[in-house]
Amino acid sequence: MNYLILFKHKCIFYALSVLVASLAATESARLLLLLALLLLFCIYKKITFRHLVGIMLLCFISYYYFSFQINKVDYTLNLPATLTWTGEYKINGDMLRGFMVDESGKKVYVAYQLASETEKIVFEESPLIGKQYIVHGTIKEPSKPAHSYAFSMEQYLKSKGSIGILEVSNWSYIQTKESIPQRIGLQRFKLKKHIEETFPESLVGEAQALLIGLGENVDDDTTRAYQKLGITHLFAISGLHIAIVSLLFFQGLLRLKIRREFAMLVLIVVLPIYAILVGGAPSVWRAVSVVELTILSRIKWRLPVDDALAISFILFIIIEPWSVYQIGFQLSYLATAALIYSSRLIRYYSSWIVQSFFITFVCQLLVYPLLLLHFFELSISSLVVNIFFVPLFSFVILPINIILLVVSFFPGALPEFMFSCYEPIRTLLTKCINLLQDIPYQMWNPGKPSIVSMLIAYGSVFATFYYLDIRAKLVKILSVLLIPMCILHFSTKVHEELIISFINVGQGDCIVIELPYRKAVYMIDTGGLLRFEQEKWKQSDSPYEIGRDIVVPFLKGKGIQKIDKLILTHADADHVEGAEEILQEINVEEIHLSPNSYYKEVMNDLVHDALKKNISIQEQIANNAWAEAGISFQYLWPVDTQYEGNNDSLVLYVAMGEFKALFMGDVEHEGEEEILRKYPSLTNIDLLKAGHHGSKTSSSEQFVNQMKPVLTIFSAGENNRYGHPHEEVVSRFQSLGLRTFTTGKVGTIEVKVKGDKLEVTTSN
C-alpha cells in the first residue's frame, strides 16, 4: 500500500503544526494556542479525525523536542575549550569572525583579532573548516542594537543557534578533523581560489556568487543596485538555479547512455554534496530536498510537489529549530509556496511574458509584508525587471559561468579568449543595471509594520489570492490589495505629537525631528566616525559607516523618505561624516550649515554630492527663523561668519506652545556665556540637547542654572575614550533635580511632545 497517498495535500497542515511548535518553543508556550486556530481551519477544510489527531500529536511532540534542543544553547562554555571551525567564517581587515562548534556540536560565534599580516595570509591561504583549536578567551554578551530598526547581533545569533560571542585571546592548533563536509568545504575553497586566480577581476564576484554561493566579492554598489531593482535573489543560489543544474547534470548522464533510474539515484546522491559545496543556504537545502523528494516520488510514491515542500520544511525545522528566524529560510519557503499554490493561475495564461509577470507578482505578493518587516522597503520596479532578468540570469548568465568555470581549467589561449568575449558584454549589462537603478522613486518605503499592520497585510494577501483564483473583477482585486497598502503607508505618519528622536550613533550627534502628521522632517547632524590611518592589511573590505548602518535604517524603519532640512551644526566628523550615505538613500530638500564651515576638508564629499543632486546649501546665522505647523524654529548662534570650530555650532531653538527645546551642537563655555548675554530671557527649557556630548568644557553652572531643563540628553558613545558625559557635568544637573539621559547607556531616545506633556521611551 502507498502510505503517502494518505497524506496527499495534507502535509501543509502538519508543517504548520511544526511551525507553531517551533515558535512556541523559542518564544512563548502561549503561542501553542495558535494550534487551536489551525485545528479549526482543518475542521473547516473537512480534514479527517485521524489527521486532526496526527497534527495535534506532531505539534506537541515537536514542541518538547524543540524545547530540549534550544535548552542546549542556554549553557556556559567552559574555557579553555576544544573548538572546531565550521565553513561559516570571514576574514575582513584584521578580524577573523565565524562559527565554531564544541565537541558536543554546540555552536559559538568567534571573534579573533589577527596579530600580523603574515598570520592573515596564512589563514587566507588554507580553509579553516574542520580545523580544531584549544581556545582561550571570554564569552561576551552581544551588544544592544542602536535602535529597534538596526541590525541585532542577538537576533542573528539566535537564528544560528549560537550560544554567544567568544572573543579569543589566544589559541593553539590541534588537528584537522576530516569528514565529508570538511572535504567538500576544502573543494569549495579550492574553487574559490581558482576563480580568483583565473577569472577577470570584474567577473570574480558574480562567478563566486552563482557557482559556489559566496557573495563576499560582490561590491556594495552592485549589491545596492540589485536591491533597488529587486533582483538581489539572482546573485543567490535559488531553487531555479538548483533545478537548472540538476537538469543539466541529469541530461548529461542520459547522453552518456546511463539508465534513467540509475541517473535519478546518482542525482539523489550528488545533490546534497552540491548543496554543501555551494554553502548550504536555506534556499539551497529547500530546493535540494524538494527535488530529491520529487525524484523519489517519481520512482515510487507519486508525492505531490506541495507535500514535498511541506515535508522539506518539517525536516529543515527538525534539524535546526531556530532556522525559522533566518530571513533566507522564511523568504525561500514562502516564495516557493506562492508559486506552487498559484500554479493554476499562472498556467491560465499562455503568454510567457504574462506568466513571467504573474510568477514575480505572486512571489512578491506573499513575501511583501515579510520584506517590509525585515527591510522596511520594497522595489516597485522588480515586478517588471524580473520578467527579463530572471530568464537572463537563469538561462544565459548562469550557464555561461558554468562553461567559463569548466573552460578555465583548460590550458592554452581558450580561457582567455572566452573571457575576452564575455567580459565586455557583462560590463555593458552592469552599466544598464546602474542606469536602471538611477531611476527615481523605485523604492516603496512605508516603514516597519506593526503586528496589527502585518495581520492586515496578510489578510489582504490571502484575500487577493482568493479573488485572483475565482477570477473576480479587477476593481475588487485592486481594492483588496491596495487599500491595506495605503493603510500601511500612512500608519507611520499619522501622529499628532511632535516627535524628537536622539539616535544612538555612538560618539556623535544625530537628532530627527518629526512634525505632527509628518508635515516636515528635520535632521540635526548625522553622526560619523573619526577615521585613523591603518596599515592596508588591517583595512576592512566594507568599513562600518554610521550613516549607512545606523541612521539610514532608522529613517527607513520609520518610513521617512524625505528630509526637509538637514542641519549640520559644525564641521566635525562625528556630526557630519554620515551625511553622504544619507544623501544616497534619502531625499534631502535643503542643507543648513554654519557660515564658512563647508571649507573644511571633512565637508568636501558632502558638498560635492549635494551639488550633484541639486540640493540647496544654505549658510545660517543667529536670528534666521521659520515656522511650520504652528511650531517656530530659530537659530540663536553663531553671530558672525568666521568659522572657528565648536563654538560656531548652529544652535537651534524650537517652540511649540509652552514647550521649548534647545539644541546646542558642540558649543562650549565661551559660546554659552555669549548666548546667555544675548538672550537673557531664555530660561526654563523643557528639552536640552547638551553641548559637546556633556564635555567638562560645556554645560557650565551658570548655563544650567538659567536653563533649568526638564529633560537633558547627552549624545555620547558607551564607554567612550573621552569620558563623556563628564561626571562633574552630570552631577551638576542631578544636584538641581534635573532629569538626564545618555544615548550610550539607554540607546536611541524618543521624546513625544503633546501639549505640556513629554513622553520618553528608550530602545534599551
Q: Is the peptide bond before 543 cis (omega within 30 degrees of 0)?
A: no
How wide is the angle at C-alpha 732 spanned by C-alphas 730 and 733, nearest 5°?
70
Residues 28 and 90 in one domain: no
Q: What is the predicted pLDDT for the residue at 500?
A: 97
Helix H or strand E encompassing 301: none
How many other C-beta atoms are found inside a 10 Å radius of the C-beta of residue 250? 18
Q: Among 73, 94, 118, which residue terminates a domain?
A: 73
Q: What is the predicted pLDDT for the residue at 237?
A: 67
Q: What is the predicted pLDDT for the residue at 231?
A: 81
Helix/strand/coil percentages in the chain, nearest 5: 55, 15, 30
Quote the crossing angle between the two packed helices 180-198 and 260-277, to the nearest 10°.
80
Residues 290 and 153 in one domain: no
Do the beta carbons of residue 628 and residue 612 sit within 8 Å? Answer: no
Q: What is the predicted pLDDT for the residue at 6?
A: 43
- CATH assignment at residue 631: 3.60.15.10
Do the beta carbons of residue 559 and residue 514 sit within 8 Å? Answer: no
Do the beta carbons of residue 376 and residue 559 sit within 8 Å? Answer: yes
Do the beta carbons of residue 709 and residue 688 sit within 8 Å? Answer: yes
Q: Which amino acid makes up residue 715?
A: S
Q: How far apart are CA 303 and CA 289, in angstroms?
A: 13
Residues 609 and 720 in one domain: yes
**What does each C-alpha distance from 716 to 500, 505, 506, 647, 663 come to in angstroms?**
17, 8, 6, 18, 15
182 within a domain of the structure (yes/no): no
The parent domain of residue 119 ranges over: 81-177
> Which residues face 617 on adjacent strands?
591
Tell me if residue 438 falls in helix, strand or coil: coil
> Which residues face 85 on adjacent strands?
100
Residues 145 and 259 in one domain: no
183 within a domain of the structure (yes/no): no
Q: What is the predicted pLDDT for the residue at 1?
A: 33
Nearest to 729 by CA among 706, 756, 697, 757: 697
Show the 3-state SS of 444-468.
Answer: ECCCCCCHHHHHHHHHHHHHHHHHH
Residues 332 and 436 in one domain: yes
590 within a domain of the structure (yes/no): yes
221 within a domain of the structure (yes/no): yes
Q: What is the predicted pLDDT for the residue at 345?
A: 77
Helix H or strand E encompassing 443: strand 443-444
DSSP letter, residue 642 = -
For 589-631, the pLDDT digits (tens) are 999 999 999 999 999 999 999 999 999 999 999 999 999 989 9
| Residue located via cell numbers 481594492 | 479
**Residue 177 CA neighbour count, 13 Å, CB half:** 16
Nearest to 579 by CA among 563, 596, 556, 595: 563
Q: How far apart are CA 100 and CA 98, in angstroms?
A: 7
Nearest to 710 by CA among 761, 669, 762, 751: 751
Do the beta carbons of residue 665 and residue 575 sit within 8 Å? Answer: yes
Q: What is the predicted pLDDT for the residue at 240?
A: 67
Sheet containing 739-742: which strands, arranged edge to edge? 625-628, 631-637, 651-656, 659-663, 687-689, 711-714, 739-742
Helix H or strand E encompassing 711: strand 711-714
Q: Which three cell numbers stand for residue 759?
A: 513622553
Q: What is the predicted pLDDT for the residue at 420?
A: 92
Do the beta carbons of residue 17 and residue 66 sit within 8 Å? Answer: no
Do the beta carbons of residue 390 and residue 233 sit within 8 Å? Answer: no
Do the beta carbons of residue 162 and residue 142 sit within 8 Å? Answer: no
Q: What is the predicted pLDDT for the residue at 3?
A: 37
- CATH assignment at residue 101: 2.40.50.140
Q: How far apart are CA 265 and CA 299, in angstroms?
A: 10
Task: Please tell me the total count of domains within the chain.
Answer: 5
Q: How far apart are CA 76 and CA 541, in angstroms?
A: 33
Alpha-helix residue ranges (DSSP H) falling in 199-326: 201-212, 220-229, 239-255, 260-277, 282-296, 305-319
Q: Which three cell numbers stand for residue 322?
A: 531556530
Residues 198 and 280 in one domain: yes
Q: What is the predicted pLDDT for the residue at 299?
A: 61
Residues 482 and 521 in one domain: no
Residues 438 and 473 in one domain: no
Q: Among 177, 204, 231, which residue terminates a domain?
A: 177
Residues 223 and 153 in one domain: no
Residues 610 and 730 in one domain: yes
Q: What is the predicted pLDDT for the residue at 439?
A: 84
184 within a domain of the structure (yes/no): no
Q: What is the predicted pLDDT for the residue at 564?
A: 96
Do the beta carbons of residue 544 and residue 536 sit within 8 Å? Answer: no
Return the beta strands (E) in 549-630 as ranges. 562-568, 587-593, 616-619, 625-628
Nearest to 573 by CA among 527, 510, 505, 524: 527
Q: Which three cell numbers stand for residue 4?
A: 503517502
Nearest to 10 by CA among 47, 43, 35, 44: 47
**Burial zone of 200 (CB within 10 Å; 0-12 exposed, 13-18 middle, 19+ buried):** middle
641 within a domain of the structure (yes/no): yes
Torsions phi, psi for 110 (to 5 deg): -115, 135
How many other C-beta atoms are found inside a 10 Å radius of the C-beta of residue 408? 18
Dihedral of the CA atoms 749, 753, 758, 761 (nearest 10)?
-30
Q: Which amino acid makes up residue 657?
A: G
Q: Which amino acid makes up residue 212?
A: I
Q: How far apart are CA 755 and CA 659, in angstroms?
A: 8
Torsions phi, psi for 698 (to 5 deg): -135, 180
How many residues make up the chain in this entry? 764
Residues 674 and 742 in one domain: yes
Alpha-helix residue ranges (DSSP H) falling in 105-237: 117-124, 153-160, 180-198, 201-212, 220-229
Q: Which amino acid makes up residue 325?
A: Y
98 within a domain of the structure (yes/no): yes
Helix H or strand E encompassing 307: helix 305-319
CB-based contacts of 215, cutoff 8 Å, min separation 6: 205, 208, 209, 223, 235, 236
Helix H or strand E encompassing 30: none
How wide is the angle at C-alpha 236 spanned by C-alphas 234 and 241, nearest 5°?
75
Q: What is the predicted pLDDT for the residue at 298?
A: 64
Tell me if residue 749 falls in helix, strand or coil: strand
Q: Is 113 left (phi over 0), alpha (psi -120 to 50) or beta?
A: beta
CB-based contacts of 714, cutoff 8 Å, min separation 6: 690, 693, 694, 724, 725, 730, 740, 741, 742, 743
**Burial zone of 428 (CB within 10 Å; 0-12 exposed, 13-18 middle, 19+ buried):** exposed
Q: Is the peptide bond before 80 cis (omega within 30 degrees of 0)?
A: yes
Do the beta carbons of residue 485 and residue 471 sit within 8 Å? Answer: no
Q: What is the predicted pLDDT for the residue at 248?
A: 75
Q: How far apart are CA 757 and CA 736, in angstroms?
A: 20
Residues 625 and 683 in one domain: yes
110 within a domain of the structure (yes/no): yes
> Which residues face 762 on adjacent strands?
749
Question: Residues of the chain whose pLDDT is less than 50?
Answer: 1-7
